[in-house]
Structure 1
Amino acid sequence: MKILVLSQYWHPENGVPQRRWTWLSKILSDAGHEVTVIAPPPHYLRNLSLREWWKERKFSSHREPGRGQSGELIIRSGFVPSGSSLTQKAINQSTVALGSLWVVLKRPGVLKGYRPDLIIGTVPALPTALTTWLSAWILCSPYVIDLRDNWPELLDQAREWNKGTGQRSLREKLLSRGPLQAASTATRFTMHRVLAGAAGIVVTSGHLRRDLLEGQPANSEREVITVRNVFPPETDYVASGKDEGSADSLNVLYAGTLGRAQNLANALEAAYLAEQQGLHVHLRFVGAGATKKALVERAKELGVEASFESRRPADALEGHYEWADTALVHLTDWEPLGSAVPSKTYELMAAGLHISGVINGETAELIREHQAGDIVEAEDPQALADLWVTLAKDRSRLRITGTGQAWVAEQREHVVPPRLLGLVERTARP
């Protein structure tokens, strides 16, 4: 059958959404389905000036199609460049959504006369949800939303989004006095309408699936399935454990997004508190994100040892994994994040690297169930400091012997493919 995927990001970009959908596209293609994608050119991590954007005609949605790693046909849509602020990201996501909608309306070139049997829209780029709904109406096709995060509930935390980035900008202060509330209300209404009309919803956690099923009417035929971010790792690294080492030092790695939802200043505070107990924590952050500058400044203020390295491809992380005694999985205490499972959790479980989990909810449950590391409550730096002191004194706890590695492989190879294909077959146009 013909499946149309609408996305804000796609290969050759190498983030979590891109890797997730390269994997899912292969599952669909291997099953004989014809996958077509509408997505902008790679630009997520590129500092593209408006002059370059205009010169290279990146505003135009009409381009020659290409082929992706999984055999999918890719139609590149237009966009306006992004930035690190929430306002710039919102403009970027909105223009990408408009570019995708233009392609659907015009169906140029190879899409002439095209009508998919199913449309899949990938969120959390929220404008994509509306574009998916409109595209389904235009093309008279059913649609599925790949929700991934707990939207629209995360809008309840809007006032906290920038707490880790430092001082609020004048623009943020002005927008928060009415425009933000109006936009949140409109977005919430739209998301509820889009989700209510979907033939199916794909989520990344069992808790979010449970919440959605509890909230939908008893007579609803909408399917909700869990497809975890257990895409194949780009490294074959398997930890050997760190039984030996000094009791007064610990190497702690965080590899991932230095973003608002992580609030990694908590880890810096924990390193400072551990130092007061005689433990020297070597913190290494590998990644990029909106809070990076504020984290660098905070580390200097506290006088803790923290190095910050640029984002690396997943296949270039082996040296960092070998260096680390333990790896952080870290989220702030926003209630909707209790049903989020960072994809790094699965990667670390597959690698057998000890996890220092600063999380609540489902992620904590998974780490405990599969004995993949130790857990402390979010936003409790003293508890994290105490955990690190304990691990340094008893390094036998750093050797992972739980079931995480086998469980992740089982999910990837035997649970996700039939679950995804079953949803597609049941929700597609007859």
Structure 2
Amino acid sequence: MKILMLSLYFYPDQTGVPKYSGEMAKWLADAGHDVTVIAGVPHYPDWKRAPGSPLLRPKTEHWGNVTIHRVPHYVPGDGKISTIKRMLIDASYLGAAGAKLVESTLKREKYDVAIAICPPLFSGILALAKRLLDGVPWVFHIQDFQVDAAMRLNLLNIGPVGQILYQMEGGLLKSANRVTSITDAMCRRAVAKGATNQRVIVSPNWADVKNIKPMPRDNEFRQAFGAGEDNIVALYAGAMGAKQGLDLVLDAAERLVADTRFKFVMVGGGPEWRRLCTESGERGLSNIQFVPLQPIEKLPALLAAADVHLVVQKAEAADIVMPSKLTNILASGRATIATANQGTALSDAIEQSGAGLVIPPEQPTELVSALQTLADSPESTKEMGIKARAFAEATLDRDVIMRAFEQELNTIAESASEHRRWLLP
């Protein structure tokens, strides 16, 4: 198949959406498909343009068998993000990628299927435009519900702009040939927003079970953290933004500062990084360290250095966002403490796997209690890690998940002529 992917966030960024969109494209290309991606410039999670990124004209590059058309778009010069800046990023990508799509049509470049990765929501507009122009069927792959997240986190109000975005979202969900999302709960939400139930399927994020696996915890990272045999390393690794609510970790560290067993480590980057670092210093939290985002090849050792992983998000995020970091945490064979309301996708994943403890969001006392419970029960903590690994091997293998996704793409491509008649009689 000739596959077109529309993904603002893409390789070489390695946190969240770009990690999975990149791995999806690479898997499909390695499976023999002709994959072209119209991508944004590398800038996430630090919201800074990577050196060498195109400023005025698209740049074509190759990553293995994947062809990437890198289009220029707005990125904040100061690395600080806001609602307006986020909308400018999305809108400028829409314009630049749209121009590239028109060029593709004029050159009579043909594709069998398109994949629009959300966020941003606007990627769906591009895929729909391609179908209207060339009859290309498309898949709307939802990593999180961007508009809902902005509303619940008070980054956007339900005014005229919010109403327009909700109507746009509903229209795109109705028009997509397939809607895929990463949890059952998010798929149900897609149906509630207007997607046709028969066209909605679960396509979860995967774990790299071949490379990320249980390893000895005594490694270079643990030594760098200054953690000994008797220490409990509580690790948060990932993006640091508004939806995570990472003040919770600082509050728990402050309550445990006198308990020398615990060492908190925060690895990653993002708009909250600088503030959290500063506040930690001002509060005299000697038991917490901040470490920059690490190269992907070091991820197995980083995850292995932890005794317990922290998967933290605000209550408002609930089922509109599923932390992408969870899959590889499970594969690493370590226990997890997750902040989630009962009945959410995150809560269900932890409880079904037996991989750790679920506590209410934004409750530092609950986090302290959970950490002490795991520290006082090393055998139970070890058993949680064993169950986590078993769950990852059974349900999160990338090849199994991607083969099912590939089959959906084949089905859509084979019925493309039917969809063309439906849209353009």
**TM-score, normalised by the number of residues in structure 1:** 0.83
8 A Cα contact 2:214 2:304, kept in partner = no
The alignment partner of 1:136 has SS state of: helix
Shift of 1:78: 2.2
Show the counterpart of 1:192.
170
Q: 1:315-361, CA deviations, whole angstroms, 9 ceiling, x for partnerless residues?
A: 22345434422111111101x52353312111111010111222232
Equivalent residue for 1:418, pick from 393, 398, 403: 403
| Aligned length in residues | 397
Instruction: Using the TM superposition, give the Cα deviation of residue 42 of structure 1 relative to its aligned residue in structure 2, in angstroms.
Output: 2.9
Structure 1: how far apart are the matches of 2:242 and 2:124? 22
Secondary structure (helix, strand or coil) at the match of 2:243 reads coil
The match for 1:58 is 55
Within 5 Å, which residues of 2 pair with 1:62-211?
63=59, 65-69=60-64, 71-82=65-76, 83-86=79-82, 87-107=84-104, 112-159=107-154, 161=155, 181-211=159-189
**Structure 1 pair 118–57 and aligned structure 2 pair: CA distance change class (3 A):** closer
1:378 alignment partner, one of 357, 361, 364? 361
Shift of 1:147: 1.0
Conserved 8 A contact 2:15-2:239: no
Aligned to 1:169: none
Give the match's secondary structure for 2:88.
helix
Supply the distance in 2 between the matched residues of 1:75 and 1:293 (Cα, whole angstroms).
Answer: 32
Q: Is the 8 A contact 2:2 2:113 kept in 1?
A: yes
> Match for 1:198: what amino acid?
A
- Is the Cα contact below 8 Å between 1:223 and 1:423 reproduced in 2? no
Q: Which moved more, 1:120-129 or 1:315-324?
A: 315-324
- Which structure 2 residue ranges, 5 or more long, are not aligned? 219-227, 418-425
Structure-2 separation of matches of 1:390 and 1:10: 39
AA of the residue aligned to 1:227: S
Aligned to 1:409: 393
C-alpha distance in 2 between matches for 1:8 and 1:426: 26
Q: Please tell me the residue identity of whatever aligns with 2:303.
A: Y
**How much has 1:380 moved relative to structure 2?**
1.2
The corresponding residue for 1:16 is 16
1:249-302 deviation line (CA, Å, top 9, x unaligned) = 5321111111111101011112222347x4653211010011122212332343
Q: 1:376, CA displacement in angstroms? A: 1.1
Contact in 2 for aligned 1:251/1:282 (Cα 8 Å)? yes
Q: What is the CA RMSD across the aligned residues, in angstroms?
A: 2.9
Q: What is aligned with 2:281?
A: 300
Segments of structure 1 that go 5 or more residues without pairing to the other structure are: 162-175
Tell me the residue number matched to 1:230.
206
Q: Tell me if structure 1 keeps the 8 A contact 2:213–2:389.
A: no
Q: What is the Cα deviation at residue 99 of structure 1?
A: 0.7
AA in 1 matched with 2:392: V
Say which SS state the counterpart of residue 269 (structure 2) adopts: coil
Secondary structure of the 1:230 match is: coil
* Bigger mean CA offset, 294-303 vs 136-145: 294-303
Letter in 1 for 2:390: A
Say which SS state the counterpart of residue 107 (structure 1) adopts: helix
2:143 match: secondary structure: coil
Seen in structure 2, the aligned counterparts of structure 1 residues 413 and 288 have a Cα distance that, compared at 3 Å, is: closer
Structure 2: distance between partners of 1:7 and 1:119: 11
CA 1:285/1:231 → structure 2, altered by over 3 Å: closer, same or farther? Answer: same
2:293 paired with 1:314: no
Determine if contact 1:285/1:309 at 8 Å carries over to the other structure. Answer: yes
Give the letter aligned to residue 398 of structure 1.
Answer: T
User: Displacement, 1:236?
Assistant: 3.8
CA contact under 8 A between 1:328 and 1:356: conserved in structure 2?
yes
- Indicate if the aligned counterparts of 1:265 and 1:298 stay in contact, CA closer than 8 A: no
Q: 1:135 Cα shift?
A: 2.7
Partners of 2:386 and 2:307 in 1: how far apart? Answer: 17
Q: Rate the CA distance shift 1:240–1:364 in 2: closer, same or farther, 3 A.
A: farther
Q: Structure 1 pair 23/406, CA: closer, same or farther in 2 (3 Å)?
A: farther
Aligned pairs for 1:344-359 within 5 A: 344-359=325-340
CA contact (8 A) 1:150 1:337 kept: no
| Rounded Cα–Cα distance in structure 2 between residues aligned with 1:409 and 1:297 | 39
CA distance in structure 2 between the aligned counterparts of 1:130 and 1:158, rounded to whole angstroms: 24
